[in-house]
């Protein structure tokens, strides 16, 4: 059963939330972070993307980057912009758009739950990204950003959330990119939340596999260095936002291929019975839309390569039956002939990339369903890389966990 740990969060004073809050580190590159941080000395980007404060040619994993991030975090928390709660709290985090609202519990999860598969995974992690996040956490002595987890809906937890959100104004309300409104409530009455989650069998990683693994590595290292038992110290817990699965919104994770000759496309057109279409996004599971040479085409995906749950996913059928045999893309994580475009950018971005000559062919996907994610995780299987794009994204800098 799941363990949550209320904690003494660091929050910006409400009047400063707008100047601090920023997008997560992994949805932008360094150049975009530099642009977003212009004229914003208090932006949390200086903590999660500290390379923006160093010379342009500084490698992302240079020791100076980690040191600068720690300095920037320490400076922010010592300033008059932030306050730390005096007592452990549970926070309610809500994101609202014009047509979607999701409300979750911002708290800490247990590294032990991650290690023993109470928290289930669905993706592989890369050692280089693990190393990077681990060093950030160790140097900052903080988990600077939360992980997004989901769980099967619980009437008990939903009742506890509504008891707070329907009777109290939010402590922080921040309007972010794309018109998303981010709201935070806090409560020091935490026992009912702890009990509610203790009755939930599994939590599932939605977004943040590397942060989870890095939190586990940090706990193991510090446990050995400081000679403490598992679960005793604050570093044994890491910040998460837990959203019920019924509220999760997944967009497609689209693909673009750099080099596709006209001859090759003609072969594909005949082999897979492509038909021209005005449908830029596939209307149902098992189909994709392809953009090539200024035209959109519809294609039925090949059958699954095996009877495993993960093989039935559209992204797996695309990989196993199309990308690998037709383009030789065996490992989409490392193959330079393929790139990925988050669904939030829409099909216009796919057309733009192809029309500009940066890529020859674009693939518009049907989104993975949240139930598919849970089914794959429950079976102990793994999804292909870039299977899901969760939207909206949790803002960074609104609650910080230090240890």
Cis preceding-peptide flag for 392 (omega within 30 of 0): yes
- What 8-state DSSP symbol labels residue 89? B
Bridge partners of 363, per DSSP, are 255, 290
Judge whether 150 and 372 are in contact, CB under 8 Å. Answer: no
β-partners of residue 92 are: 105, 185
Task: Compute the distance between CA of residue 235 and CA of residue 12 in angstroms, rounded to an integer.
Answer: 22
pLDDT of residue 317: 98
First to last CA, the chain: 24
Per the CB < 8 A criterion, the answer to whether 204 and 380 are in contact is no
Q: Where are the alpha helices (DSSP H) in 79-184?
A: 111-115, 127-140, 155-165
Q: Where does 208-244 show beta strands of DSSP type E?
A: 237-244
CA distance 254 to 38: 30
What is the token pair recorded at 343?
């669904």
Q: Tens-digit pLDDT profile for the chain (403 aa)?
A: 999 999 999 999 999 999 999 999 998 999 999 999 999 999 999 999 999 999 998 998 999 999 999 999 999 999 999 999 999 999 999 999 999 999 999 999 999 999 999 999 999 898 999 999 999 999 999 999 999 999 999 999 999 999 999 999 999 999 998 899 999 999 999 999 999 999 999 999 999 999 999 999 999 999 999 998 888 899 999 999 999 999 999 999 999 999 999 999 999 999 999 999 999 999 999 999 999 999 999 999 999 999 999 999 999 999 999 999 999 999 998 899 999 999 889 999 999 999 999 999 999 999 999 999 999 999 999 998 899 999 999 999 999 999 9
Non-local CB neighbours of 323 within 8 Å, separated by 6+ positions:
255, 257, 329, 332, 338
Enumerate residues 6+ apart whose C-beta is below 8 A from 104.
Answer: 92, 93, 94, 161, 241, 242, 243, 244, 247
The reported pLDDT for the residue numbered 382 is 95
Helix boundaries (H) for 8-95: 17-20, 30-37, 45-48, 63-78
Tokens (6 digits) for 227:
């000679």
Two tokens, residue 244: 């019920």
Q: What is the pLDDT of residue 385?
A: 87
Distance CA 147, CA 241 (A): 6
The predicted pLDDT at position 231 comes to 85
With tokens 């980007």, the residue in question is: 45
Residues near 117 by beta carbon (within 8 Å), at least 6 away in sequence: none
User: What integer pLDDT is reported at residue 333 of this predicted model?
Assistant: 85
Calculate the alpha carbon distances from 372 to 205, 252, 376 in Å: 13, 13, 6
In order of 52, 155, 182, 243, the CA distances from 96 in angstroms are 30, 21, 7, 13
- Residue 375 Rama label (left phi>0; alpha psi -120 to 50; beta): alpha
């Amino acid at each position: 059963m799941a363990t949550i740990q209320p904690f003494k969060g660091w929050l910006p004073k409400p009047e400063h939330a707008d100047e601090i809050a920023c997008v997560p580190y992994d949805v932008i590159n360094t150049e975009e972070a530099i642009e977003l941080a212009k004229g914003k000395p208090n932006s949390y980007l200086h903590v999660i993307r500290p390379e923006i404060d160093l010379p342009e040619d500084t490698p992302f994993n240079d020791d100076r980057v980690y040191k600068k991030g720690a300095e920037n975090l320490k400076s922010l928390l010592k300033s008059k912009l932030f306050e730390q709660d005096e007592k452990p709290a549970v926070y309610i985090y809500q994101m609202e758009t014009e047509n979607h609202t999701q409300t979750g519990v911002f708290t800490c999860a247990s590294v032990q739950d991650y290690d023993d598969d109470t928290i289930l995974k669905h993706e592989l992690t890369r050692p280089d990204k693990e190393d990077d996040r681990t060093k950030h956490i160790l140097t900052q002595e903080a988990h600077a950003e939360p992980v997004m987890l989901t769980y099967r809906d619980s009437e008990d937890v939903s009742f506890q959330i509504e008891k707070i959100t329907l009777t109290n104004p939010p402590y922080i309300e921040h309007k972010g990119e794309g018109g998303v409104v981010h709201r935070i409530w806090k409560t020091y009455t935490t026992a009912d939340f702890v009990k509610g989650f203790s009755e939930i069998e599994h939590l599932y990683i939605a977004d943040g596999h590397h942060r989870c693994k890095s939190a586990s590595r940090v706990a193991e290292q510090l446990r050995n260095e400081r000679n403490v038992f598992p679960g005793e110290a604050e570093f044994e817990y890491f910040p998460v936002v837990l959203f019920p699965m019924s509220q999760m919104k997944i967009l497609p994770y689209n693909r673009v291929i750099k080099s596709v000759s006209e001859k090759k496309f003609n072969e594909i057109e005949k082999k897979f019975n492509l038909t021209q279409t005005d449908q830029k996004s596939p209307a149902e599971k098992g189909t994709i839309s392809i953009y090539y040479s200024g035209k959109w085409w519809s294609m039925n995906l090949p059958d699954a390569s095996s009877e495993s749950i993960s093989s039935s996913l559209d992204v797996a059928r695309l990989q196993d039956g199309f990308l690998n045999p037709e383009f030789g893309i065996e490992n989409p994580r490392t193959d330079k002939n393929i790139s990925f475009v988050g669904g939030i950018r829409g099909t216009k971005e796919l057309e733009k990339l192809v029309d500009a000559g940066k890529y020859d062919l674009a693939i518009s996907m049907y989104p993975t369903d949240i139930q598919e994610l849970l089914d794959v995780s429950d079976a102990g299987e793994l999804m292909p890389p870039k299977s899901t794009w969760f939207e909206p994204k949790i803002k960074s800098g609104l609650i910080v966990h230090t240890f």
